[in-house]
Amino acid sequence: MNKLYPDISLLATIVPHGHGSRVIALLRQEGVRGGTVLIARGCYHRGLLEFFCLTESHKELVISILPTTLLDHAVEIIEEKMALKKAGTGICFAYPLVGFSRKYPDIPNTHVKEAKTKKENTTMYQAIITIVDKGLGEAVTNTAEEHGARGGTIINARGSGVSSSVNFFNMDIEPEKEMVIIIINANETEKVVDAILEEHQLDQPNKGVLFVQDLSHVRGIRES
């Protein structure tokens, strides 16, 4: 671990198809070095789509790695320029990484915000990540919705530009697998997780895997 650089965060932004390149361009202007765009699809069954507020079925997931000192500013830029307060435009969230393989160049002081007196709440929202065989992602989302979640995003590793596998949340997702991302209020996580584990038998070999990640800097969530 002594070869990894600390104080790095991952910023994930889910936007309608075709908007990922704009997210990367906006972040690059603020000192963030590039990003990765994964093809995904939304899976929502409630009429108003009030949680993610995304009405298109095809999505892009933009993954960006950046210094934690730049995170507040980057999130503000994405929220403003991508109009995340408006329904149907997308969401973003972040979480800290233990380390990163490359040293980031110095960031201009104008882009680095002083630490806020009120720390971002890292436990208000959590991500439930489930990896299952291809074709089962929608069933997992259905189960989650039946127990309080309001939709999810499914990543298929056979998206555009992916030839073998996708690495996300430090796990390799093979082409025959699907990864379901469900952003949920932390108070509701346990019941949704229990339902997914039981109904999809994830405690059995070769059935899949589930894990939960604390999030910070969540934007674009609309709750009823």
| More confident site: 62 or 108 | 62
79 plus 159 within the same structural domain: no
Using one digit for the tens of pLDDT, what is the confidence trace for 72-124?
999 999 999 999 999 889 999 999 987 777 677 665 555 555 444 344 544 69
**Domain's final residue, options 77, 111, 145:** 111
**Domain's final residue, options 76, 111, 146:** 111
**CA angle centred on 176, ends 172 and 182, rounded to 5°:** 65
71 plus 143 within the same structural domain: no
Q: Which residues contact 118 (CB under 8 A, 6 or more apart)?
A: none
> In the predicted model, is pLDDT for residue 200 greater than 90?
yes
32 plus 74 within the same structural domain: yes
User: 176-195: buried (b, 16+ CB within 10 Å) or exposed (e) per residue?
Assistant: ebbbbbbbbbeebbeebbeb
Does the pTM of the predicted model rise above 0.85? no
Q: Which helix (H) or strand (E) holds 129?
A: strand 125-133
| More confident site: 214 or 47 | 214
107 plus 154 within the same structural domain: no
**Do 100 and 63 meet the contact criterion of CB atoms below 8 Å apart?**
no
116 within domain boundaries: no
pLDDT of residue 161: 39
The enclosing domain of 58 has a CATH number of 3.30.70.120
**CA angle centred on 105, ends 84 and 72, rounded to 5°:** 25
> In the predicted model, is pLDDT for residue 194 greater than 60?
yes
85 plus 167 within the same structural domain: no
**Could you tell me where the DSSP H helices lie in the chain?**
20-29, 71-81, 137-146, 189-199
**Domain's final residue, options 64, 83, 111:** 111
224 within domain boundaries: no
Q: Determine the 3-state secondary structure of 32 from DSSP.
A: coil
Torsion 137-209-11-104 (CA) sign: negative
**Do 212 and 128 meet the contact criterion of CB atoms below 8 Å apart?**
yes
Confidence band for 159, pLDDT divided at 50, 70 and 90: very low
**Which residues sit opposite 129 in a β-bridge?**
181, 211
- Region 164-188: mean pLDDT is 75
CB atoms within 10 A of CB 210: 18
Among the residue ranges 1-15, 38-52, 88-102, the one predicted with the least confidence is 38-52
Name the pairing type of β-strands 166-168 and 58-67. unpaired
222 within domain boundaries: no
135 within domain boundaries: yes
pLDDT of residue 109: 53
Q: Domain range for residue 97? A: 8-111
The Cα–Cα gap between 84 and 76 comes to: 10
pLDDT of residue 162: 44
Confidence band for 52, pLDDT divided at 50, 70 and 90: very low
What amino acid is encoded at 156 in this protein?
Answer: N
107 plus 30 within the same structural domain: yes
Give the number of domains in the chain.
2
Q: Which helix (H) or strand (E) holds 43?
A: strand 36-43
Confidence band for 48, pLDDT divided at 50, 70 and 90: very low
**CA angle centred on 13, ends 12 and 16, rounded to 5°:** 150
pLDDT of residue 7: 85
